[in-house]
């Protein structure tokens, strides 16, 4: 499957959110990434279910998936609210869940695709026991909390290692990378094994259509390889 581009609306113009998000979708984004921060788990406060709900007209019109990333403490308290608002994917942090398996099972029971992620300093072994229950596994390539950070060295090694874990399990989970993704490093991330790339400022700062087209251009070798393999 060609890499999926999931623009993070955290970097969009919130005075014109549907316009900006719509331009990204028109330019080739199949997902929209919604970064939810609570000021406790991470040192920033962003948005809640009301923003997911506000994107429903665009979701119904285009079929774009709403990819919700909960960077919040005790995420179980808010799962129902984000599902009711119209999320398609809900990803939680293993560090924020007293029982990660129970949390991702609860997400699936609510009819939404569950995802799991972890902070850059957390060993991948923290995902043992939960990976088999998710549809999305995410590598954080920055320390969560703020947009516009630089892609951390070693992130591609973590992507490759997590890709190996998923493949060894026979898992169909998508491997997502989030943080500091730009056109100059997107191909390396995809080559390492990422199948969903989250990009914020690299999409929404400047000409959205041109920025998205640049990602599609640099990711073309992976997309072509996937098509050749499928045929």
Q: What is the pLDDT of residues 124-178, one digit of tens each?
A: 999 999 999 999 999 999 999 887 889 999 999 999 999 999 999 999 999 999 9
How many other CB atoms sit within 10 Å of the CB of residue 9? 26
CA 57 distance to own-chain centroid:
21
Cross-strand bridge partners of residue 93 = 117
Model confidence at 193: pLDDT above 60: yes
Across the chain, mean pLDDT equals 95
How many other CB atoms sit within 10 Å of the CB of residue 83? 20
Residues across the chain: 231
Model confidence at 220: pLDDT above 90: no
Which of the residues are catalytic?
35, 178
The pLDDT of residue 226 is 61
Q: Which domains does the chain have, with CATH numbers?
A: 4-230 (3.20.20.70)
Cross-strand bridge partners of residue 90 = 68, 114
The pLDDT of residue 173 is 98
The C-alpha atoms of residue 36 and residue 51 are separated, in whole angstroms, by 10
The pLDDT of residue 112 is 98
Q: Residue range 26-34: average pLDDT?
A: 96
221 vs 24, more confident: 24
Over its C-alpha atoms, the chain yields an Rg (Å, rounded) of 16
Residues 6+ apart with CB under 8 A from 171: 131, 132, 137
- What DSSP character marks residue 30? S
Q: Residue range 107-117: average pLDDT?
A: 98
The pLDDT of residue 120 is 97
Model confidence at 230: pLDDT above 70: no
- What DSSP character marks residue 150? P
The pLDDT of residue 147 is 79
The pLDDT of residue 231 is 45
pTM of the full predicted structure? 0.94
The C-alpha atoms of residue 43 and residue 65 are separated, in whole angstroms, by 27
């Amino acid at each position: 499957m060609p890499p999926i581009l999931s623009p993070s609306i955290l970097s969009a113009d919130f005075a014109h959110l549907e316009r900006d998000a719509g331009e990204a979708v028109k330019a080739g984004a199949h997902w929209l990434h919604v970064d939810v921060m609570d000021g406790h788990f991470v040192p920033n406060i962003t948005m809640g279910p009301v923003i997911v709900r506000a994107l429903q007209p665009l979701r119904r019109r285009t079929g774009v998936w709403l990819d919700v990333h909960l960077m919040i403490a005790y995420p179980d308290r808010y799962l129902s609210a984000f599902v009711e608002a119209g999320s398609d994917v809900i990803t939680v942090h293993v560090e924020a869940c007293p029982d990660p398996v129970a949390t991702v099972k609860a997400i699936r029971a609510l009819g939404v695709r569950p995802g799991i992620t972890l902070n850059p300093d957390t060993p991948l072994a923290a995902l043992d026991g939960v990976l088999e229950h998710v549809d999305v596994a995410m590598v954080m390539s920055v320390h969560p909390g703020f947009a516009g950070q630089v892609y951390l060295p070693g992130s591609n090694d973590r992507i490759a290692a997590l890709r190996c874990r998923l493949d060894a399990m026979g898992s169909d989970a998508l491997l997502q990378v989030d943080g500091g993704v730009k056109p100059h490093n997107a191909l390396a991330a995809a080559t390492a094994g990422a199948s969903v790339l989250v990009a914020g400022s690299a999409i929404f700062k400047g000409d959205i259509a041109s920025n998205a087209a640049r990602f599609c251009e640099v990711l073309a070798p992976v997309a072509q390889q996937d098509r050749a393999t499928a045929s």
